[in-house]
């Protein structure tokens, strides 16, 4: 049967054995197998001759009669194909889709640590208590430092407030002193205008008030006002000297300049911000 199958397979592939009517020289005509082989051989020759007669003139077989291609599979591929057919025809894609699911198996969990003993738990509690005490100490230190800073700032603000109140008091007092000194200077000028040379008392009162105003301006850091007051006192001294020499013209001229310096000092004192670089 094997020679017959091989011959049939060759006919399907379009291969015809060479036309010969003789059997192999070594065939045993007395053997039953040889007789059967001879009959199959002759039948195959007849079918091959009929197939050659049915072919077209071009010598090619129609594509519809061409046998399907035969693929030779390796043993591993055969086993894989059988496994695929056994799974219900899902094909290679099904096995490929199942691969990630198998690879995504959850990892083994790490072995759990044994529970702490009472001694270990006590040591852990002591350690936590020590940390809490340390943090409490740091917090108390920070609170003390913050309180000290706040107290210092409060004292500084209090000092600044007191200083501002003192400066305002000196400013108000200086304005009053300058105003009164101007009144005494005007009285002395009227006396000199009428020919009265006894102006020592009026000029002495004006100079005393300006001396106090000069001290207040220096304490308040009002350098410009202090300089103007000092200049006014100088002109008052010149007026006293001229009155003593009975030089009415020069005495009144000196009083005029003293009043001018006093007005400038009064204007600087009215400015609460001050015009000196030494102002606090």
Q: Which pLDDT tens digit goes with each residue over 232-264?
A: 999 999 999 998 899 999 999 999 999 999 999
Q: What totals of helices (H) and strands (E) does the chain contain, helices first?
A: 8, 0
- Whose structure tokens read 């015809």? 16
Q: Helix 223-244 vs helix 248-270: angle between axes, to the nearest 10 degrees?
A: 170
- Whose structure tokens read 């199959």? 40
Q: Which pLDDT tens digit goes with each residue over 4-17?
A: 555 555 555 555 55
Q: Which pLDDT tens digit goes with each residue over 21-31?
A: 444 544 444 56
Distance CA 167, CA 174 (A): 10
Contact yes or no for 151/184 (Cβ under 8 A): no
The domains located in the chain, with CATH, are 2-65 (no CATH), 147-270 (1.20.120.660)
Q: Which pLDDT tens digit goes with each residue over 165-205?
A: 888 888 899 999 999 999 999 999 999 988 888 889 999 99
Among residues 279, 169, 166, 164, the alpha carbon closest in space to that of 224 is found at: 279
Distance CA 175, CA 232 (A): 15
Which DSSP symbol is given to 197? -
């Amino acid at each position: 049967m094997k020679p017959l199958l091989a011959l049939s397979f060759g006919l399907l592939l379009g291969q015809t054995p060479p036309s010969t009517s003789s059997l192999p020289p070594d065939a045993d005509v007395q053997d039953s197998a040889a007789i059967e082989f001879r009959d199959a051989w002759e039948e195959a020759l007849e079918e091959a001759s009929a197939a050659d007669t049915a072919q077209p003139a071009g010598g090619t077989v129609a594509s519809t009669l061409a046998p399907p291609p035969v693929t030779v599979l390796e043993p591993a591929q055969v086993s894989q194909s059988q496994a695929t057919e056994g799974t219900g025809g899902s094909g290679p894609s099904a096995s490929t889709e199942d691969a990630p699911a198998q690879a995504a198996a959850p990892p083994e969990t790490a072995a759990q640590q044994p529970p702490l003993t009472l001694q270990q738990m006590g040591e852990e509690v002591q350690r936590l208590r020590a940390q809490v005490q340390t943090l409490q100490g740091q917090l108390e230190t920070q609170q003390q430092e913050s309180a000290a800073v706040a107290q210092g700032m409060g004292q500084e603000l209090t000092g600044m407030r007191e200083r501002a109140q003192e400066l305002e008091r000196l400013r108000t007092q200086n304005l009053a002193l300058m105003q009164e000194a101007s009144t005494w200077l005007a009285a002395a000028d009227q006396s000199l205008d009428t020919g009265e040379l006894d102006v020592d008392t009026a000029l002495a009162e004006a100079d005393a008030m300006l001396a106090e105003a000069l001290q207040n301006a220096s304490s308040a850091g009002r350098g410009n006002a202090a300089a103007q007051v000092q200049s006014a006192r100088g002109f008052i001294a010149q007026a006293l000297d001229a009155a003593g020499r009975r030089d009415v013209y020069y005495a009144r001229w000196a009083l005029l300049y003293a009043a001018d310096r006093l007005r400038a000092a009064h204007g600087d004192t009215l400015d609460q911000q001050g015009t000196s670089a030494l102002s606090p």
